[in-house]
Amino acid sequence: MSSSRAAAAIRTAARRPRPTRRRKPDPIRTWVRRLDRTRPGLVRDTLDLLAGLHGHPVWQRRFDPTSELILTILTQNSADVNAEKAFEALRLRYPSDLPSEAHLPGGGWGGIGLSEAPPPDWAAVAGAPLDELVDVIRPGGLAPQKAPRIQATLRRIHAERGDYSLEFLGTMAPLDARDWLTSIDGIGRKTASVLQLFSFDHPLMPVDRHVERVSKRIGLIPPKASADDAHELFLALLEPADIHEAHVNLIRHGRLVCHALRPACDGCPIRPRCRHVDPKAP
């Protein structure tokens, strides 16, 4: 080939568009589209049937957001009633002179509710000797893991904000606020979503063991979805206005009907559409 032909071939090759790489499909959107196509109306039917059985819970702020966060950390892998005992112990051991706060647990909470009292002195909690704090919150379970997590969380809040208030999160976009919270070690999407949903009515879906179990049995989310994926799936499946009711009623259903070991399927209104009952349910 002559030098002129070689140069022309190089120029032609240079002008050819490079093949574009196909983007990997988004598994969240892929699942939502598949559900719409193969099981139309499943999400709406589930919400309506749950509401027919459990009612329409009305949102109200449950607690001061800092108290909500620490209480939620105490509930991690522990029963709500035990977390209440640990939080009451914090109040007694590290009392503050702040105004009393009411705990309005509402639907979805598994304890009996906290007494009306001032929150703990968060500076005293953050600065307490670690072994002392472990003993104080021992009734909540897993105290050796939770005590340093609570102190690290409070210290991080104070270092960035100059106090222990989390009210500023209510002015942020929900996902930005969640990113801020989950940047703290030991705070995952569930804990952040609990705080944001119940303190600020941010449309984020906390996925606890009840929500996950019921949703996977029905087929709302894939059976092998991770906890993090489950949070994102619900944001894609639900309208923002439905999230609080869906969260509360899925928890209620998990506690009252769709038990872990012996679910009461015969009395469940979702039975005709539940893949736990019928693997081919529509």
Residue 107 pLDDT: 82
State the chain's mean pLDDT as an integer. Answer: 94
Q: What are phi and psi of 61, to 5 degrees?
A: -60, 130
Q: Which of 177, 242, 173, 166 is nearest to 205 (CA)?
A: 242
Residue 23 pLDDT: 73
* Mean pLDDT confidence for 30-40: 97
* Domain 65-200 annotated CATH 1.10.340.30: yes
Residue 90 pLDDT: 98
Q: How many whole angstroms separate alpha carbon 82 and alpha carbon 84? A: 5
Q: How many whole angstroms separate alpha carbon 165 and alpha carbon 69? A: 11
R_g of the chain computed on alpha carbons: 24
3-state secondary structure 62-91: CCCHHHHHHHHHHHCCCCHHHHHHHHHHHH
Q: How many whole angstroms separate alpha carbon 82 and alpha carbon 67? A: 16
- Look-up: residue for tokens 């872990």? 260
Q: Which of 240, 217, 215, 218 is nearest to 227 (CA)?
A: 215
Give CATH 1.10.1670.10 domain extents, the chain. 39-58+205-273
Per-residue pLDDT of 162-197, as tens digits, reads 999 999 999 999 999 999 999 999 999 999 999 999
Residue 151 pLDDT: 98
Asked if the model's pLDDT at residue 7 lies above 60, the reply is no
Q: Please give the CATH topology (third level) of the domain spanning 39-58+205-273.
A: Endonuclease Iii, domain 2 (1.10.1670)
- Look-up: residue for tokens 């099981």? 39
Evaluate if pTM is beyond 0.85: yes
Residue 11 pLDDT: 60
* Mean pLDDT confidence for 49-60: 97
Query: What CA–CA distances, in Å, run from 256 to 120, 132, 196, 265?
Result: 33, 38, 25, 11
Q: How many whole angstroms separate alpha carbon 25 and alpha carbon 6? A: 40
Give CATH 1.10.340.30 domain extents, the chain. 65-200
Confidence of residue 24 (pLDDT cuts 50, 70, 90): confident
